[in-house]
Structure 1
């Protein structure tokens, strides 16, 4: 194991064991290095690496702190990975969405409130009869994000949100830039919304699968 990796592992163990908790300030560099049996250079590299993935927060002139460790914070790194993907992995990311989103949609069916349903419906109504591709992409992402939030699972919601960065929007734009697709997309969204309104988890799961698979198919054709 590389020295930096060993340092990262030791800090991770401190967090996992509860010795360091969210919001805690790390001991001074010299003290922590001595306690962990590390050089200050290897500790410094480990702190830098952990700050990049949002586990640690380095505050100049103040110290280094453990972040909230909230899934939404930690999984922000996923968006970076999605945004710098290679072209040959575009469909793989959509395949992951096809696995996760139907589950999130089914979970939302038993949790979404009348106010939540009304908000989703209002967003769809605001699109109008002939939305632009840009408006359709924005509405599509907002709809999926809104449904995922009602799954009640912050990790699942954060994973799906991480798959919806700038590159994901570009992929979806390519898939939706086809004549006649707008009506189909809105119709599928309304079908998902109807299943959520009925509290029918399996229907919600099925419509979400149909919807994501359709986007995946259109992207495959575009590529």
Structure 2
């Protein structure tokens, strides 16, 4: 069996072991020696497989302590998408637009559903974040952490963790590329106003208005990317 194929096979066996034992993030895995015996493979094969799984955040190797089930985040996806977009941007392709269009398609497609049944407690959280944006805008810059928290809170009521993770992954990928490429100054007052418009539409339960507000928000990003 080829070296790469063997490593992939061992990775698959370790993932199957995690599933069969119903392990969750932070749970310890069998020791390296135990995995060698369980899987009937060499120590080097186990080490290679664990390193590959660690890169995917499926396992976490804590030197001196052991190996544990990893956080299972989309971080490898974010890194890959962001770097791909940066490379293509430097080749003259419209990779930033593509990233932004994916986010816009996802968020504008979901916001009307949110508007129909937004829990009062989620609306209160969004209002609080918009108020914080206003304070930050007055000080000269809306913090990225506030913007990120807003977009996470926006879709919390849908109760879909994978959807939240995917939306956050695209938010983070676009942020990384824009920060690396310094896509131009952003008027914090406009950022605050656009998010306030979204919340106002949600408070009225007006899905169409919320969709329009979301498109205006992304339209501003498109304008700055074009400049």
Q: What's the TM-score, normalizing by structure 2?
A: 0.74
TM-score by length of 1: 0.75
Residue by residue over 1:163-205, the C-alpha shift from the partner in whole angstroms, topping out at 9 and shown as x without a partner, is 3335156279736x26xx5554434322311222123445433
For 1:80, the equivalent position in structure 2 comes to 79
How big is the alpha-carbon RMSD for the aligned residues of Structure 1 and Structure 2? 3.2
Cα deviation 1:97-118 (Å, max 9, x = unaligned): 1122224433433453333323
Deviation at 1:9, TM superposition (A): 1.8
Contact 2:141 2:188 in 1 (8 A): no
Structure 2 residue 143 is the aligned partner of structure 1 residue 144: no
Alpha-carbon distance in 1 for matches of 2:98, 2:195 = 22
Contact 1:101–1:208 (8 Å) recurs in 2: yes
Residue 120 (structure 1) aligns with: 126
2:142 paired residue number:
135
Q: 1:142 to 1:174 in 2, by over 3 A?
A: farther
Contact 1:148 1:157 in 2 (8 A): yes
Instruction: Name 2:103's counterpart in structure 1.
Output: 97
Could you tell me whether the CA contact under 8 Å between 1:107 and 1:150 is conserved in 2?
no
Q: Is the 8 A contact 1:26 1:64 kept in 2?
A: yes
Cα deviation code 1:107-148 (max 9, x no counterpart): 433453333323322333342596466327555444323313
Aligned to 1:157, what secondary structure does the other structure show? helix
What is the aligned residue count? 213
CA contact (8 A) 1:33 1:39 kept: yes
Cα distance in 2, alignment partners of residues 141 and 28 from structure 1: 38
Query: Separation in 2 of the partners of 1:77 and 1:130?
Result: 32
Give the counterpart of 2:57 among 54, 59, 74. Answer: 54
Cα-to-partner distance string for 1:51-88 (whole Å, 9 max, x where unaligned): 22221122333322223x5xxx4212233234434224
Between the aligned partners of 2:207 and 2:12, the Cα distance in structure 1 is: 41
Contact 1:104-1:156 within 8 A present in 2 as well: no
Gapped runs of 5+ residues in structure 1? none
Q: State the alpha-carbon separation in 2 of the partners of residues 30 and 130 from structure 1.
A: 56
**Distance across 1 between alignment mates of 2:157 and 2:181:** 23
